[in-house]
Chain A
């Protein structure tokens, strides 16, 4: 398996633009997690899905953030409108029955 795939790897955008981050989990995994990492706050769990259903989105910072998982092989994290404070590395991870999480390479987002 290719592991967790994220795209794009780097994204630079201007404040106010919509940003969509994509994740393809490992085939057969039933959990998918979105994390954000910044120097100031470290790693934070934003939202996670179980069998494509959002279970806990209490970590989503505000209404500008939304996440979807239309099927078992694809998830998106959208920020609209983006702000400079959203600049961070966004990681997607997947696991089977929460046994061990496999992380994607991350998307480095810069909002100017």
Chain B
């Protein structure tokens, strides 16, 4: 069983739609990370959060520690948002567990 589960695995949306990607984890964590990997392979760290909610532009990340669940929301999606979104959790001692990623395609 993976320590980090993401859903959906693949997601296709029309431009402008509101998108939600979910992440559930089964271990105690010190922080949860959302990463974005572009089709060219580059990885960008979007958020690191341990409680509550963070917002950056059209991206919003939330975490519920009690439920061991996080969501990444994209408002007014755009084709340039097409990427793989990876959820990762870090534990004390910097153990890292990664989800398998959600492949998002936004169609114009």
Contacts and interface: CB of A to CB of B under 8 A. Distances in A.
B94 A91 contact: no
Classify chain B: how many residues form its interface, as a range: 20 to 34
A43 interface: yes
Interface in A76-112: 89, 91, 93, 98-103, 105-106, 108
Q: Is the interface of B mostly helix, strand, loop or mixed?
A: strand
A45 interface: yes
A105 B42 contact: yes
A106 B45 contact: no
Given A42-B98, A43-B98, A102 B42 contact: no
Nearest to A105: B42
Nearest to B47: A100
14 contacts: A42-B98, A42-B100, A44-B98, A45-B95, A45-B96, A56-B95, A91-B43, A93-B45, A98-B31, A98-B48, A98-B94, A99-B48, A103-B45, A106-B43
